[in-house]
Structure 1
Amino acid sequence: MKWLLVVLACLQVAEGAVRISLKKGLSIRDKMRAAGVLDDFLRHIKYDPVKKYQPRQGSVVRQPITNHLDSSYFGEISIGEPPQKFLVLFDTGSSNLWVPSTDCKSPACFNHAKFKPSASSTFSPGGRSCTVSYGSGSVTIALGWDTLRIQSITVTQQEFGLSQEEPTQPFYFADFDGILGMAFPSLAVGGTATALGGMLEQEQLAEPVFSFYFSRQPTYEYGGELILGGIDPRLFQGDIAWAPVTQKLYWQVALEEFAIGQSVTSWCSQGCQAIVDTGTFLLTVPQEYLESILEALGAQETSYGYAVDCADTHSKPHIAFGIGGARLALPPTAYVLNSHGYCTLAMEGTYLPSQDGQPLWILGNVFLKEYYTAFDMANSRVGFAPSA
């Protein structure tokens, strides 16, 4: 009987929610390295992986493109009537929806799908534009309205951005065409309407929740799933640990403790904050703790990251984050990246604290591959459970 109830629950979730299969392509970083342009690109930008999380200034939001260098999970949407298809990065670290436009003359737009307003019978121009400023340049978007579709979800008159100019690097190398932001409306550039807000207002979600599952062994055809309007118990183990959002900009939660092996550090004794970001691949560590982590994990700084001995990976300690009363651990196989026999920590440091001054961590795909993550919009909370 218990087995039957579980099956029925799973069937109910599948019927009431929309499942988007996420593809896993080569990262922008890997493509730029293969093209021989990565080193020069990184030398000529002032790189801080969390400029994305600085406060807004007017209609400009500063989000370094380098934040997406390692992001390579994306899925399909369509805009317009008849539908024009795009691959987008589903990003819980931003709030705007934008895709390239046929008006974009930047080289970065040439090898991506571009929205053609004149080909859509339902398009309405917005008459204004916004700028998203990145560490390596700016993306200028013209605003408009049209029908957004994600499988059976249909949102009419959804406001979105059409890129007019994009930096050649690194978006030229991106597998995805645009970005669909899934953070809070207060983070949206220019106060534009968010895609999730449109889904809620037009009652297109079975429940006011969405969830992500990232495969530990992703392929291009299947890197994981985004479930809009539900949670699938088949994709996780045990119970979900819920943590309230501490600031309704990003999906930001309190980090109660951080442990290396069996040793709980004192770093978060006065409080830490963590942003849960599907648009970031790595873990971002407060700069003041980075040296201690490198020492504890036996890593050395190099031009390609924090190198470790590949043969020693399995002997390294787990690291663990205390969130929502649960200890969420990452094994070394999760936080050590092996690229053709060269191993590095999947971590970067930042000098930027959270807006309340507490140390700020960012939990990207390295963390999310280990934990099924649910985003509850009605109750402003994030839930975690070990991935199945």
Structure 2
Amino acid sequence: MKCLVAVLVCAVLAEGIVKIPLQKHKSMREALREKGIELPYQDPALKYQPNEFAGSAYMYINNYADTTYYGAISIGTPPQSFQVLFDTGSANLWVDSIYCNTQACNAHKKFDPRQSSTYSAKGQSFYLPYGAGSLYGTFGYDTVQVGDIVINNQEIGLSTNEPGQNFVVAKFDGILGLSYPYISAGGETPVMDNMISQNLLGANIFAFYLSRGGQQGSVLSFGGVDNSLYKGEIYWTPVTSESYWQIGVQGFEINGQETGWCSRGCQSIVDTGTSTLTAPSQLLPYIMQAIGAQQSQYGMYMVDCSQINNLPTLSFVISGVALQLPPSAYITQNGYQSCSVGITPTYLPSRDGEPLWIFGDVFLREYYSVYDRTNNRVGFASAA
């Protein structure tokens, strides 16, 4: 299912409280100012009142070509740092390890459990298939740090074999799954569930702000949201299946005209680990016809770049609210007069036969998304 080609900065955060290093060595305030976001001044002495900040972490994550959003975590004692894809479409945490010598593993940093005084082996192996790429591994336990949140005895997967080429060019050393434990391979307890059970969060939520145009400035937060990163209000919709972050879709509109395709209900999985908007395969030809896209010899749907402003706006009706995707969201300019449509098909059935969509990064760049485990709901607000 997963493509795998595939910010929150707290408004009350003093400089230096939580900072994930960026390639460009700018302060959080400077980086956000370039995006037109001005943080209010806060007294730096507030950091000496830890209760004011307990239970939340705000961290920059990297944007690679609008296809992959990843950031740093650390594992072990002393900590070993890794770049991981933050993925709401899977549940396991795994990293490359010294037990793996395939080309994909050798291209990345590897976790060495021998160098960690807090590591313990579980003695259980696993297999994880993704839409593109798969791996074998073994489970263990160790301390994991995400932002400034430290999780004790977190189950982690250590890769032992990553066949094929899919992970060779990946910008990340592993994946941190953020979906429900129901879909966790091997029954591994997800990171978010351990944060909850260890009472590490002020609120049992996390949120994403995804930058666009390959620019940096994406943010992932745990335990809180940042009002400066979205406009208007957050619209909430209930999770319909506590496995993926799956929600109901009541309507699909093209230029404000209801198509009727979801009149009997559609489902959608909200998935930061999928780079495109994924449509039910039976609906894709009609969408491309409405867009006026032509299929290339490589199977991609293309449009004339000069016509982008004339293309339709797509809208999803979710809990009574129409969330719009303008053509600027779903069209990517690949080069001079070469523009592709960031919508791909899925052939997976949904529950009760309702057509299944995947709201990947194409959708999520338009909307600040909030994932609420206490109330089992997803929130969307227009991204700032």
TM exceeds 0.5? yes
- For 1:177, the aligned partner's letter is D
Query: Hey, what does 2:315 align to over in structure 1?
Result: 320
Q: Are positions 1:275 and 2:269 aligned together?
A: yes
- Please state whether the residue corresponding to 1:240 is helix, strand or coil: strand
Query: Hey, what does 2:301 align to over in structure 1?
Result: 306
Query: Hey, what does 1:338 align to over in structure 2?
Result: 333
Q: Distance in 2 between matches of 1:216 and 1:129?
A: 38
Can you list the C-alpha shifts for 1:8-41, whole angstroms capped at 9, x where unaligned?
Answer: 99x99977521110111247xxxxxxxxxxxxxx
Q: Distance in 1 between matches of 2:299 and 2:309?
A: 21
Query: Hey, what does 1:21 align to over in structure 2?
Result: 60
Query: Hey, what does 2:247 align to over in structure 1?
Result: 253
Q: Distance in 1 between matches of 2:60 and 2:322?
A: 29
Equivalent residues in 2 for 1:146-157 (5 A)? 146-157=142-153
Q: Are positions 1:115 and 2:111 aligned together?
A: yes
Which structure has the highest helix share of the two? 1
Can you list the C-alpha shifts for 1:170-189, whole angstroms capped at 9, x where unaligned?
Answer: 10000011000000010100
Query: Hey, what does 2:36 align to over in structure 1?
Result: none
Shift of 1:351: 2.3
Q: Normalized against structure 1, the TM-score is what? A: 0.83
- For 2:290, the aligned partner's letter is A
Q: Normalized against structure 2, the TM-score is what? A: 0.84
- For 1:232, the aligned partner's letter is D
Shift of 1:352: 1.9
- For 1:363, the aligned partner's letter is F
Identical columns (%): 45
Q: Distance in 1 between matches of 2:277 and 2:210?
A: 15
Q: Distance in 1 between matches of 2:350 and 2:179?
A: 16
The answer to whether the 8 Å contact 1:217/1:223 transfers is no
Shift of 1:267: 0.3
The answer to whether the 8 Å contact 1:13/1:232 transfers is no
Q: Are positions 1:369 and 2:365 aligned together?
A: yes
Range that drifts further, 365-374 or 300-309: 300-309
Q: Are positions 1:193 and 2:232 aligned together?
A: no
Q: Are positions 1:158 and 2:197 aligned together?
A: no
Equivalent residues in 2 for 1:1-388 (5 A)? 17-26=56-65, 71-134=67-130, 138-219=134-215, 222-302=216-296, 303-341=298-336, 342-388=338-384
- Please state whether the residue corresponding to 1:278 is helix, strand or coil: coil
- For 1:333, the aligned partner's letter is S
The answer to whether the 8 Å contact 1:127/1:143 transfers is yes
Query: Hey, what does 1:56 align to over in structure 2?
Result: none
- Please state whether the residue corresponding to 2:110 is helix, strand or coil: coil
The answer to whether the 8 Å contact 2:133/2:164 transfers is no
- Please state whether the residue corresponding to 1:356 is helix, strand or coil: helix
The answer to whether the 8 Å contact 1:213/1:373 transfers is yes
Can you list the C-alpha shifts for 1:34-83, whole angstroms capped at 9, x where unaligned?
Answer: xxxxxxxxxxxxxxxxxxxxxxxxxxxxxxxxxxxxx3110100000000
Q: Distance in 2 between matches of 1:304 and 1:26?
A: 20
Q: Distance in 2 between matches of 1:183 and 1:13?
A: 28
Shift of 1:95: 0.1
Shift of 1:291: 1.0
Segments of structure 1 that go 5 or more residues without pairing to the other structure are 28-70
Query: Hey, what does 1:51 align to over in structure 2?
Result: none
Segments of structure 2 that go 5 or more residues without pairing to the other structure are 1-11, 13-38
Shift of 1:136: 5.9
Shift of 1:157: 0.7
Q: Distance in 2 between matches of 1:309 and 1:144?
A: 51
- For 1:310, the aligned partner's letter is C
Can you list the C-alpha shifts for 1:111-137, whole angstroms capped at 9, x where unaligned?
Answer: 211000100000000111011134566
- For 2:226, the aligned partner's letter is D
Report how many residues are paired: 338
Q: Distance in 2 between matches of 1:83 and 1:370?
A: 35
Q: CA RMSD in A?
A: 2.0
Can you list the C-alpha shifts for 1:328-350, whole angstroms capped at 9, x where unaligned?
Answer: 00110110011112111101112
Query: Hey, what does 1:63 align to over in structure 2?
Result: none
The answer to whether the 8 Å contact 2:55/2:200 transfers is no
Shift of 1:382: 0.1
Query: Hey, what does 1:61 align to over in structure 2?
Result: none
The answer to whether the 8 Å contact 1:13/1:231 transfers is no
